[in-house]
Every structure is written in C-alpha cells, then in structure tokens.
Amino acid sequence: MEAKTSSRKNPGIITIERHILHEQESFPDATGALTQILYSLALAGKLIASRTTRAGLADILGSAGEENIQGEEVQKLDIYANRTIVQLNNHTGRLAVMASEEEKDIIPIPDRHPTGKYVLLFDPLDGSSNIDYNVSVGTIFAIYRRKSASGRGTLEDVLQKGADVVAGGYMVYGSSTMLVYSTGNGVNGFTLDPNIGEFLLSHENIRLPEPGKYYSANQGYTKYWTEGIQRYTRWLQGEEGAPRSLSLRYIGSMVSDIHRTLLSGGVFYYPSDTRDPKKPHGKLRLLYEAVPMAYIIEQAGGYGSTGRGSILDVQPTDLHQRTPLFLGNKDLVEKAEEFIAEYDD
C-alpha cells in the first residue's frame, strides 16, 4: 500500500502558494503572517536546492574548517543554508526570534526591524556530511507562537513543547526536491518543478500506510543499545514472538529516512546509547529535528516517542537538548515503549 496522494477530481495545477492561501481561508482571523513565513521557507528551499544540485560544480563541497555548537564539523552548504533562512526571515516583522541548530544562542531580530508573533526553529541542512557522496539531505523547521507579550523574542519563546507547534515540516533535496508541511490539518507534499521554479502539490493528505514496511536504524551501534532496544530490534526482524518481520532500510540522513517512513510506513529510531559519554541521550536534537519530524508523523496518523512517552510532551530545558527518538506507525512505536518499559526501566 502506497502513500495516499491527491483524491480531488481534476484539481489542475496546485502550487504551494495556492494551497497555503486555501488553508488560510479556513481561519477567519488569520492575518497572513504565518502564510508569509511558509512562503519564505519555500523560497529558501528553492535556493538551497539550487545549490545542492550544483554542489559538485561549485566551491561549496566539503568542510568549512570549523565546528558548530554541536561539536560537528561545519560544511560549506550548512553556512549557506543557515544564512539563507535567516536573511529571508529576519526583516519581515513576522517573527519575534529564531533559533538554528547551527547557532549557539537564539537569533534575535535586528533592532532596526519590527518583530512579530511567531517563532521559527530550524535545522538548515540536516545530513550535510553526506553531501560529498551525493546522498539526499534536508531542511527541517517548526513554527510556534511567541510566549512573551511583545518586543524582542526570548529564550522562553523558543523553549516550547512540541504540542505547541502551529506549523512544521521539512524539505528533502534528492533526485527531486520535496517540501512536506502541516499547519495542523493533515500533511501535504509538494514537488519542485525545476522548469517553472514552483512547488506543485504531488502528495495530498499523506497518511502512513498500514502495515508499515520498513524499520530504519543504525544497527552498527547495536552493542551500545540497552537490552530493551536490542530485543525490540529482534522483534522487528521477526523474532521475540513477532507476528511478522520488517525489512531494514537505513540511509543515514535523517530527513531521507523519515521521508521514506512517512510514505511507506514503518518505524525510524535513534535511541540513546553508551557509545559517547558526552551524548547519553542520543544524537538527535529535540527542538530542531525530533519535534518537527514527530509533528509531521503524528499529523499523518503516526506517533513520535522518546521511548517512554510522547516526544511532543517533552518540555525543553536547553536550546540544544538531545533526545532518543522513535517515529512511525503507532503500533510499532508503542511496541518499542513496551520493550523499554519491560527490560530497561
């Protein structure tokens, strides 16, 4: 069973702008600010896609010779993607503050520009270490309403639960460029037509297919996992009393792996492990990776968990907080919670 696409009768060509405006009509009090933020992100996606498709021809491959706040080597495309998103959004008067996986602190709106009521969090180029090898990479984002009353945004505005997300999504740059997003009314996907430079609706009302086909995890780290996670992995392989087995698919680029999970069904997980004492809670960032992707998965009928409860209920305490993550079909993620509760707690 494949992901559901458009069920409209002769819908014609639907651009992302037309689709967003149509959604806006459902909210009588809408000011258009959220719509404009989504437009800006779509434009950022086009610009980043243009650079990634020319990566082998331009001087943007490889490392920039520095590390980001995560202790990871910064790639040249990371810098470009981060700068592009910031510059398209820091002057519009629609945002109170931004935060990026690449930046140590929150990104304030310059004093010379007005502020708005929304907060933008993003990972500008997830999986960028793979770009030299022509592996798909992506951009992830989440939008919140500010908590503070007015003025410049604060850290409190950024440290919000995933349950408070008002819009979120991702772009994946691969054999084609797709933008997948939700404003709380289901998930829709748009494919970039390079001939006309527009995102066109290609996947309407995406729902995770049942039953899920694939599981996605880095089994090279199996020996560092807890007993519960190891048993859960064997269950996915048809052992531990499982009624069936799933096939393994793992790219190593989070956006790509979860994009496949969304369209084919299954489960993606990156648990905590004992491999790196500096990262006892795993590798993935709560605010920039886990929450936005969990939001999309849940809007498509799935479930996102830490292994011990909903990822969207976690209260962030740090800008670059890490978390274990399990995403996919609800029954498969809940089974992970069962194994963890039985063997690890």
Kindly write down the DSSP assignment for every residue of 48-59, as one continuous string: HHHHHHTTTTTT
| Ordered DSSP codes for 22-64 | HHHTT-TT--SHHHHHHHHHHHHHHHHHHHHHTTTTTTT-SEE
| Alpha-helical segments (H) within 265-329 | 291-299
Statement: residue 274 has pLDDT above 80: yes
Q: pLDDT confidence of 90, banded at 50, 70, 90? A: very high
Sign of CA pseudo-dihedral 321, 327, 330, 331:
negative
Q: Which residue has the tokens 């930046």?
A: 103
Say what the pLDDT of residue 11 is.
Answer: 57
Contact 153, 115 (CB under 8 A): yes
Say what the pLDDT of residue 6 is.
Answer: 40
The domain locations on the chain are 16-203, 214-343
Statement: residue 248 has pLDDT above 90: yes
Say what the pLDDT of residue 345 is.
Answer: 83
CATH number of 214-343: 3.40.190.80
Query: d(Cα 323, Cα 321) in Å, to the nearest integer?
Result: 7
Say what the pLDDT of residue 76 is.
Answer: 82
CATH of 16-203, one of 3.30.540.10, 3.90.1150.10, 3.40.50.2300, 3.10.105.10: 3.30.540.10
Say what the pLDDT of residue 30 is.
Answer: 72
Tokens encoding 36? 């404009």
Of the candidates 82, 139, 167, the one whose C-alpha atom is nearest the C-alpha of residue 253 is: 139
Say what the pLDDT of residue 311 is.
Answer: 98
| Global model pTM greater than 0.85 | yes
Statement: residue 58 has pLDDT above 70: no
In residues, how long is the chain? 345
Q: pLDDT confidence of 68, banded at 50, 70, 90? A: low
Statement: residue 79 has pLDDT above 50: yes
Q: What is the mean pLDDT of the chain?
A: 91
Statement: residue 72 has pLDDT above 70: no
Q: Give the bridge partners for 191, in sequence order.
A: 178, 200
Statement: residue 5 has pLDDT above 60: no
User: For residues 81, 82, 85 and 89, what is the CA-based torsion angle, rounded to 10 degrees?
Assistant: -160
